[in-house]
Amino acid sequence: MKYIIETTGYILSGCSLTLQLCAVTALGAIPLAILFALGRVSGPKLLDKSLGLYAWIFRGTPLLLQLFFIYYGLSIFGISLKPFTAASLTFIINYTAYLMEIFRSGIQSIDRGQYEASKALNMSYWQTMKRIILPQALKRTLPPSCNEAITLVKDTALVIVIGMGDLLRSAKEVFTRDFRITPFIIAALIYLVLTSGVIGFFRQLEKKLEVYD
């Protein structure tokens, strides 16, 4: 029992990196993705095409490769980033691409009549988007966004490859030292707690917004 508590404590110390990375990614990617989605829907064609290309590249290549590229690859050009900076940057760029497409589909699913009513009431583009379209569109995209959030929690484990110590790495260290399966089980349980938190958060949000259905 003492072993389990000590091991859990050690693994949890790696958990703070996981959480930090998730928070930074969410804070960076969500606003960017909304802005880009609006750019795709209402911007000039060239912007739409460019953002489409961006989504194509970052959804179409492995996140691990992108992480290598930004951390190791860029150093060839004299740009050397700290591991946390490189990881944050990679995750934000990657998740923005996915979320942009999710939000875009949400925006495009809103009935034209909503735009027409807003225009007939003389609301500006930004007023219409901020107050009428986005609240409805974002609500519709909660289920796929929840999927992305869960994936994000788990994807953060990839930062091991650039030498960072997250919760999975802590577990691996204990395993290497003690050669026992327990640390992996503890790590799995911690991931389950984290992802359950994410699911619970989204469920609450959906419930709160259900009132108008």
Partner 1 sequence: MNMIRMINVNKFFGSVVALSDINLEVNEGEVVTIIGPSGSGKSTLLRSINQLEKIDSGRIEIEGEPVVSISENGKHEHINRKQILRLNKRLGMVFQHFNLFPHKTVLENIIEAPVVVNGMKKEDAARIGLELLDTVGLSDKKDSYPSRISGGQKQRVAIARALGMNPDVLLCDEPTSALDPELVGEVLLTLKKLAEKKMTMIVVTHEMAFAKEISDRIIFMDEGKILADGSPEDVLSNPEHPRIRDFVSKFI
Nearer to partner 1, 62 or 143 (CB): 143
Sequence-ordered list of residues with C-beta below 8 angstroms from that of 135, at least 6 positions apart, any chain: none
Here's the x/- map for partner 1, 73-112, by CB under 8 A: it reads as: --------------------------------------x-
Segment contacting partner 1 (CB under 8 A): 8-16, 51-59, 87-95, 123-131? 123-131
Give the separation between CA 56 and CA 64, rounded to whole angstroms. 16
Residues of this chain, 133-162, that bind partner 1 according to CB under 8 A: 135-136, 139
Among 19, 132, 142, 205, binds partner 1 (CB under 8 A): 132
Sequence-ordered list of residues with C-beta below 8 angstroms from that of 15, at least 6 positions apart, any chain: 166, 167, 190, 194
Among 116, 125, 189, 196, binds partner 1 (CB under 8 A): 116
Residue found by looking up tokens 């958990």 in the block:
15
DSSP single-letter state for residue 131: I
Q: Are 78 and 8 in contact, with CB atoms under 8 Å apart? A: no
Q: Min. distance of Cβ 115 from partner 1 in angstroms?
A: 9
Among 117, 188, 189, 192, binds partner 1 (CB under 8 A): 117
Q: Min. distance of Cβ 27 from partner 1 in angstroms?
A: 24
Q: Min. distance of Cβ 49 from partner 1 in angstroms?
A: 25
DSSP single-letter state for residue 78: T
Among 2, 45, 207, 212, binds partner 1 (CB under 8 A): 212
Is there binding between residue 178 and partner 1 (CB under 8 A)? no
- Residue type for position 14: G
Give the separation between CA 134 and CA 60, rounded to whole angstroms. 27
Count of beta carbons in the 10 Å neighbourhood of residue 158: 21
Structure tokens given for 190: 């911690």
List residues near partner 1 by CB under 8 A.
Answer: 111, 113-114, 116-117, 119-124, 127, 131-132, 135-136, 139, 209, 211-213
